[in-house]
Amino acid sequence: MNQHLIVGAAALLAIAGLAAAQEPGPAALAESAESEGAFFETVDVNLVNVEVYVTDKQGRAITGLTRDDFVILEDGRPVEITNFFTVEGGMPVLPPPPAAVAAPALPVGGALPETVQPLAVPEDQRLYLVVYVDNFNIRPFNRNRVFRRLREFLTEQLGAEDRVMLVSYDRSLHYRHPFTSSPDLVARALFELEDLSGHAIHADSERRDILREIAEAEALGEVEYRVRTYAESMYNDLSFSIDAMDEIVTSLAGLPGRKALLYVSDGLPATAADDMFQALSRSFNTTTVLSTAQEFNANRLFERLAAKANANRVTFYTVDAAGLRAPGGSSVELATAAEAGLATFVDSVYISNLQAPLLRLAEATGGQAIINTNDVGERLAQVATDFNTYYSLGYPSAHSGDGRYYKLEVRLAEKLKGARVRHREGYRDKPITDRMSDGALATLVYGFEDNPLDLAIRVEASQPDEEGGSRYYLVDIVVDIPLNRIELVPIGDFHVGQTRVYFVAMDSEGDTSDVSEVPLALRIPNAQVAAALQQLYPYRVTLRMRQGPHRLAVGVVDEIGANRSFLSRSFVVGG
125-386 CATH pick, 3.30.365.10, 3.40.190.80, 3.30.2130.10, 3.40.50.410 = 3.40.50.410
What is the reported pLDDT for 45? 67
Looking at 294-441, which runs of residues are DSSP E strands?
A: 314-320, 369-370, 390-396, 405-412, 420-422, 426-428
Where are the CATH 2.60.40.10 domain residues in the chain? 9-43+432-573
CA 450 to centroid of chain Cα atoms: 18
CATH classification number, 9-43+432-573, choose in 3.30.2000.20, 1.10.10.10, 2.60.40.10, 3.40.50.2000: 2.60.40.10
Question: Average pLDDT over the chain, rounded to whole?
Answer: 86
* Nearest by Cα to 539 from 6, 33, 44: 33
DSSP code for 3: -
Contact 555, 439 (CB under 8 A): yes
Predicted confidence at residue 341, as pLDDT, reads 74
Q: Which residues pair with 388 in a beta bridge?
A: none
Tens digit of pLDDT for each residue in 106-151?
A: 554 445 455 545 566 788 889 999 999 999 999 999 999 999 999 9
Q: Whole-model pTM above 0.75?
A: yes
C-alpha distances out from residue 31 to 37, 81, 533, Å = 13, 42, 14
- Range list for CATH 3.40.50.410 in the chain: 125-386
pLDDT tens, the chain, 575 aa long: 443 333 333 233 333 333 333 333 444 445 554 444 444 555 566 889 999 999 998 889 999 999 999 999 999 999 999 999 999 998 898 776 555 555 555 554 445 455 545 566 788 889 999 999 999 999 999 999 999 999 999 999 998 889 999 999 998 999 999 999 999 999 999 999 998 877 777 788 888 889 889 988 999 999 999 999 999 999 999 999 999 999 999 999 999 999 999 999 999 999 999 999 999 999 999 999 999 999 999 999 999 999 999 999 999 999 999 999 877 655 444 445 556 677 788 899 999 999 999 999 999 999 999 999 999 999 999 999 999 999 999 999 988 789 999 999 999 999 888 899 999 999 999 999 999 999 999 999 999 999 999 999 999 988 888 776 668 899 999 999 999 999 999 999 999 999 999 999 999 888 899 999 999 999 999 999 999 999 999 999 999 888 899 999 999 999 999 899 999 999 999 86
DSSP state of 549: E
- Are 539 and 520 in contact by the 8 Å Cβ rule? The answer is yes
